[in-house]
Amino acid sequence: MNFILLSYIKYFTKEIAKIIRLVLIGSSIILTVVCIKYKPAYKVTINDETIAYVSDKDVLEAKVNKYIEDTSNNIAFREIEALPQYEFKLISRRVDTSYESEKTVMLAVNNLTTTTYKFYAITANGEQKSLVTSQEEAENIVSALKQDLDEKVELEFGIVDVYTTENTFNSSEEANSILNEIKVAKVTEYEEKKAEEERQARIAAQRAMATKYAAATSTTVSTGPVGSVNGMSFCVPVSGSISSRFGARGSRAYTHTGLDLATSAGTGIRPAAAGTVVFAAYKGSYGNLIIVDHGNGVQTYYAHCSALYVSAGQSVDTGTTIGAVGSTGNSTGPHLHFEIRINGTPVNPEGYLF
């Protein structure tokens, strides 16, 4: 009985061993076929979209994390919409899992990433004018700009931090050029304003002096026939006060060749006698000037006019308004500069009209 039992055991042991060998051989064949046709890899998806297959998940994750955490080249931070997801797969050996696949994933990550940069803006009177990459660079530029800047010039430079998604900035040379143009423009504006204020102050002082002198020496005159020149009847061209007389004056650097009659701007001017206009235009210190020829070598001048109503060649008489009182040319206020010239030589109008 024991002999029979041992025979059965030996028999079944051999059969089981045979089956195991067959299973192992089959498994080896299957595994060999699988290894020949397939390979292990990781499917990479972003937002449920398959991007690529890679062979090494850890290497790719390290690259993605390094990219997101990078703060070089003025990068402040990066924000990504969704991170890659990984799933182990057996895939056909023909599917690419090389470095090109990693590049495809990194490109997708880049497209889903918003990069914010930090720059330093240099401002002029609160307005951003240029961006540079470091605070030290900005401070050096501002310090150089302030060195010879008059504190009275209305220009204030400053530095502020700027966060932007645009990787655009100025080199030191560009920033210096931009800001120096602004500085030059502001300094020029200040100097022109200062020069104008000084000019106005001089004019005001001259007017005050003229007013003071006129008050002390003025004589009120009225239009109408009051005298004669070479037998011709002459009259005063405007009613007003004599604010400056003919001849040398201590306050003048030259001899005054006429008579200044102060009156309101726009007052009509009439010729002292009938004649022909030989000049009606702007002429240096005279400003707008009218010259009337009366014959017999006699001419009269009407200077500083605000308007000219006649032209050369026109005949006029004492009833013609030839211009308007003004302050053009070298003048400190509204008045008529009136001259009488005989054979080209200025004479004192007071000697003929009063």
Tokens at 78, concatenated: 């990066």
Tokens at 312, concatenated: 């050369």
Tokens at 153, concatenated: 């010039």
Label each residue of 321-344 as H, E or C. Answer: CCEECECCCCCCCCEEEEEEEECC
> Would you place residue 227 in the very low, low, confident or very high pLDDT band (cuts 50, 70, 90)?
low
pLDDT above 90 covers a percentage of the chain that reads 61
Kind and range of the H or E run holding 38: strand 38-46
| Dihedral over alpha carbons 243, 248, 250, 254 (to 10 degrees) | 100
Tell me the mean pLDDT in the region 300-316.
96
Q: Does 51 have pLDDT greater than 90?
A: yes
Residue among 171, 148, 168, 145 at smallest CA distance from 158? 145
> Would you place residue 134 in the very low, low, confident or very high pLDDT band (cuts 50, 70, 90)?
very high
pLDDT of the residue at 213:
47
If you write DSSP's letter for every residue of 4-18 in order, what string do you get? HHHHHHHHHHHHHHH
| Dihedral over alpha carbons 203, 251, 344, 294 (to 10 degrees) | 60
Q: Does 223 have pLDDT greater than 80?
A: no
Instruction: Please say whether the dihedral angle defined by the alpha carbons of residues 327, 332, 334 and 340, taken in this order, is positive or negative.
Output: negative
Phi-psi region of 224 (alpha: psi -120 to 50; beta: other; left: phi over 0): left
Cβ within 8 Å of residue 163, ≥6 positions away: 76, 116, 117, 118
Cα–Cα distance for residue pair 157/137, rounded to 1 Å? 14
pLDDT digits (tens, 9 = 90+) for 157-182: 999 999 999 999 999 999 999 999 99
Cα–Cα distance for residue pair 348/346, rounded to 1 Å? 7
> Would you place residue 253 in the very low, low, confident or very high pLDDT band (cuts 50, 70, 90)?
low
> Would you place residue 39 in the very low, low, confident or very high pLDDT band (cuts 50, 70, 90)?
confident
Q: 0.85 cut: is pTM over it?
A: no
Tell me the mean pLDDT in the region 342-353.
88
pLDDT of the residue at 216:
46
Q: Does 117 have pLDDT greater than 50?
A: yes
Residue among 134, 138, 48 at smallest CA distance from 84? 48
